Amino acid sequence: MRLNKIAMIAAVAFPMLVSTACGDSYLDKEVDLTIDNEAVFSDYDRTRGFQARLYDYLPDAFAGFNDTQFRGSNECMTDNALSDWGVHRYHSMLQDAYDATNHWFASEYWPRNYKGIRQCNIFLANARPGVVGNAEKKGDDNRLYDRWIAEIRILRAICHFDLITRFGDTPIVGDDENGNPIILEPSSVLPERLPAAEALKWVISECDKYKDDLPFRYANETENWGRINGAAAYALKSRAALYLASPLYNTTGDKQLWQNAADAALDFINTNARQANPYKLHTATPANVNSNYYDCFITNPVMNNEYILARSVWTTLNIEFNLAPCGFAGAISSSGRINPTQNLVDSYETIDGLPIDKDPNYDEQNPYVNRDPRLEQTILHQGSIWGVGSEAREVDMNANADADGGVGVDFTHANGGTATGYYTKKYLNNIPWDNTVTGARHACPIFRYAEILLNAAEALNEVGNADAYKYVDQVRDRVGMPSYSGKGQAELRERIRNERRIELCFEDHRYYDTRRWKLFDENVSAAAETSKPRYQQVYNLYAVEIRRGSSTFYNYGAPYGTVGYSRQSFISPKSYFWPVPYTELVKTGYHQTPGWEL
């Protein structure tokens, strides 16, 4: 069960409504139109409980870890990671094995988001200022009704943004011509699909309307952490404006859209700078370039000054089960099913700030020395030290059965193993495996401050503004990487994109970034890109096989284990967006997403 902080607070006030995040609760019965809204919205605690449950519809990059059989990390449908577990649904995504009648992800996200949008509109139409209160007060509860309405309007915009990035052209279920929220019955036909670029403009306009009706950051985060604040609205606008300016949506190359994206990011940065308690890049205590990044995703997620908005705090061992090397076992056992690719590993620069193919000191037979410190803080490789106390040891993914000791204990296991020679360290708590552990705290950010800095850098570079260096260098400085200087626009674009890849990996960005940048079109085909460094290839997927003998040899090549393929399929324009589920298509008569027609 996963609950936001606010949902837990609301559960105390109204346990009948929000005591569970799943199951047959009062709020799950959307289809039952006989429920009396009067009983809910005439009461403060019930109204508060209804609003709190709406936060269940926030995006969640950890959602797949609830399903240890068929899912894990969405990064496994990108060039950043693979899964060794043969039944994971990501394999079908990478290999274009779905159609509009059985696309598992489309069939999940389309109805889920529209269910969330409908529930938001029910709240917006029925919440009452006389019940909630809307008095002028000091602190977070100033004009509380207006604040709650603004929260849910931004949440509704987030649900629409999630649909746009997955499906492209998207029906907007917002307000009617009189400004009243549109509440469609579950059997109703949705409005026409709005072109994706126009739909993004709607999201941006919603942010502009309501972002200043919210405290930029709540003064009392003990109670309000996890609630949408003004900063989240500014951040959503920044991301939506960046996407709108990108080649996938900005088909005419309009530079003004890039300037708008730069302005949106700078608006966040400048507004944040005026706050008494601004968001900032997280550092460990004491600060250390070799631990700052890892610590950001492990320590105290609730009060992390870099997290602008997170879906929830989850106390679980599911993430440890899915990420830790498969040789760690005891009272609980790991599977290590989420494996970074060699493509991702190669994207980390050397400590001198050079791509590995541009640094004459880089040695692919001694590949992990003198690299960007984020590599060691994100990825477990051969020889990484992992484990607590007496369990601490070197991770061993040796594939040579004839070596002393045989195949490495972390190479393969009945429940999983590595398909690439790597495991994921980001989000992974170092727990004792020989004792029963009830769970570790996890929170995956929806928005964090590093993304805003990278949004600013990317957009400013596209309009030729040298301030782009300043913002990308702030992100690099946290981990002790050298500043950039003296690069042409194209080279800096590549470096900013690379920075975004490694800084935001495993946060549900890479899938959408490769598409909005149209990297597949730039690379033309899998065959055409093989002459490029591995980190620049998006079709072909790479791994390393470790052969331990008298010395350790790194053999770079195709993924292994149960994966069975070495490239991802991409068919243009089909693969840019998902299909509308066929059942919805029949009901609505929509045009299908290009390429998915049956």
pTM to 2 decimal places: 0.93
> Which residues make Cβ contacts (< 8 Å) with residue 289, sequence separation at least 6?
373, 478, 479, 480
Q: How far apart are CA 540 and CA 536, in angstroms?
A: 10
**Cα-Cα-Cα-Cα dihedral sign, residues 262, 265, 268, 269:** negative
- φ and ψ of 126, to 5 deg: -120, -20
Q: How far apart are CA 457 and CA 454, in angstroms?
A: 5
Amino acid (1-letter code) at residue 143: R
Query: What local confidence, expressed as pLDDT, does residue 141 receive?
Result: 95
Where does 291-417 have alpha helices with state H?
Answer: 292-296, 318-323, 342-346, 373-378
Task: Return the closest-CA partner of residue 179 out of 142, 208, 209.
Answer: 209
Write down the residue that tokens 């006389």 correspond to: 130
Using one digit for the tens of pLDDT, what is the confidence trace for 212-259? 999 999 999 989 999 999 999 999 999 999 999 999 999 999 999 999
Query: What local confidence, expressed as pLDDT, does residue 386 receive?
Result: 96
224 DSSP 8-state letter:
H
Query: What local confidence, expressed as pLDDT, does residue 596 receive?
Result: 94
Using one digit for the tens of pLDDT, what is the confidence trace for 34-54? 457 889 999 999 999 999 999
Write down the residue that tokens 């059965």 correspond to: 401
63 DSSP 8-state letter:
G
User: CB–CB of 225/303 below 8 Å?
Assistant: yes
Amino acid (1-letter code) at residue 57: Y
Beta pairing class for 440-442 and 314-316: antiparallel
CB atoms inside a 10 Å sphere around CB 494? 14
Task: Return the closest-CA partner of residue 140 out of 228, 210, 217.
Answer: 217
**Helix/strand/coil (H/E/C) assignment for every residue in 405-449:** CCCCCCCEECCEECCCCCEECCCCCCCCCCCCCCCEEECCEEEEH
CB atoms inside a 10 Å sphere around CB 202? 18
User: CB–CB of 317/330 below 8 Å?
Assistant: no
pLDDT < 50 positions in the chain: 1-34
Beta pairing class for 416-417 and 412-413: antiparallel
98 DSSP 8-state letter:
-
Phi-psi region of 407 (alpha: psi -120 to 50; beta: other; left: phi over 0): beta
Phi-psi region of 395 (alpha: psi -120 to 50; beta: other; left: phi over 0): beta
CB atoms inside a 10 Å sphere around CB 331? 10
